[in-house]
Amino acid sequence: MKKFLKVFVLFLLFQIIYIPLLSIGLIYYGPFKNTREMIVTTAMTTMTHQYFATWFLSDEEIEEILKRNRPQEDVEDTDVGKIEIANKNSNVTDPKEGIEIVDVSSDTYNGYLMIVSDPSRVKIATAPRMGTVGATTSQIVEAYDAIAGINAGGIEDDALSNGGTPSGLLIEDGILKTPDAISGSFAVVGLDNENRMVVSNSITYARLQELGVRDAVSFQPVIIVNGQPTIYYGDGGWGIQPRTAIAQRQDGTILMLVIDGRRAGSIGATLKNVQDILLDYGAYNAFNLDGGASTTMIFDSKLVNQPSDIMGERYVSSAFIVTKPKTQTTASN
């Protein structure tokens, strides 16, 4: 009996200690390169779980993995001349008309693509008390009496963040809302006065003014420019996370994408997944927006997706909203 108990205890120790250690060893030092790179890129895009990479790999090894997976950073300028917008929605009166939501879920994530045929209805909206406190995407959409929206630019994030301070550059209706961004270069997505999307990994406010950009926010990176993808290897360098992205087709149609993550049944998506979905739906230019707990889509006063935070929608500084047709708009911020 004692011999049996000894064998049983040794077996339990093997299961509890040695198998996990063996698995870790195989992942980080064995032949499973894709799995290792996925874990590292995912861990390093979080603020709280980077130890999954830093405990086992050197800073140089981690940086090499990230560099290898990142999208191409030095991308060409957006050729807005190739975007030809047809005025096909001038007589729309129903605010839901011209908007379609497509389920783009896979076996590993739940995703939703909002297709907006009239780009003139898409604009940046900001939290009513931006600079002091943020607002949920739902609250921003409601404040602007809009029909739909997704979260947009990044926020200055720390443990006590209330979403009130946007990061980088933010332009709303032609007005620079982040005065410090008057100098420097930023990764930006915006819409010009002709409702054509401009994307860049490094652009100045002065250049955006020259291009006549009416609305813009900062995050990163560019994932499609002039019809060409920027990710040619690996997962895009940002691992698996909840995602928000925006894109435009050559006919002007706007694509807004959200993918849920960090939950059972929907672990999230890579930037490569996002790129592939948007390419499948005809994106000509595309840009990755703030994801993670911020990822939110609203349509007709309803939450379309499931934000990863157990508390629900996160407070953010900005959103891309879809306004009601002009004859239907009754209020603005």
* pLDDT in the model for residue 59: 75
* pLDDT in the model for residue 132: 92
| Stronger pLDDT, 217 or 18, i.e. the higher one | 217
| Stronger pLDDT, 154 or 333, i.e. the higher one | 154
Calpha distance 148→305 (Å, rounded):
13
pLDDT band at 45 (very low <50, low <70, confident <90, very high): low
* pLDDT in the model for residue 1: 55
CB 305 within 8 A of CB 258: yes
pLDDT band at 74 (very low <50, low <70, confident <90, very high): confident
| Cis ω for the linkage preceding 20 (within 30 of 0) | no
Strand partners, 103: 112
Neighbouring CB atoms inside 10 A of 228's CB total 13
Strand partners, 319: 125, 151
pLDDT band at 95 (very low <50, low <70, confident <90, very high): very high
Q: Residue 88: CB partners within 8 Å, gap ≥ 6? A: 117, 118
Ranked by mean pLDDT, the top range of 43-52, 233-242, 247-256 is 247-256
Q: Does the pLDDT at position 248 exceed 50?
A: yes
Residue with tokens 């946007």, as numbered in its chain: 166
Calpha distance 198→207 (Å, rounded):
11
Q: Residue 258: CB partners within 8 Å, gap ≥ 6? A: 111, 112, 150, 242, 243, 244, 295, 296, 297, 304, 305
- pTM, 2 dp: 0.84
H or E element, residue 329: none
pLDDT average, residue stretch 14-35: 46
Q: For 121, phi and psi rounded to 5 degrees?
A: -85, -5
Calpha distance 135→127 (Å, rounded):
5
For the sheet with 228-229, list strands across it. 99-103, 111-116, 254-259, 243-248, 285-289, 222-225, 228-229
Q: Does the pLDDT at position 276 exceed 90?
A: yes
Calpha distance 112→105 (Å, rounded):
7
* pLDDT in the model for residue 15: 41
pLDDT average, residue stretch 213-236: 94
Q: What are 83-94's pLDDT values in tens digits?
A: 999 765 567 789
Calpha distance 143→129 (Å, rounded):
11
Q: What are 131-176's pLDDT values in tens digits?
A: 999 999 999 999 999 999 999 999 987 555 799 999 999 999 999 9
Residue in 113, 89, 141, 123 with CA at minimum distance from that of residue 325: 89
Degrees (nearest 5) of the Cα angle 323, 327, 330?
65
* pLDDT in the model for residue 331: 46
The proportion of the chain whose per-residue pLDDT surpasses 70, expressed as a percent, equals 76
Calpha distance 133→301 (Å, rounded):
22
* pLDDT in the model for residue 256: 98
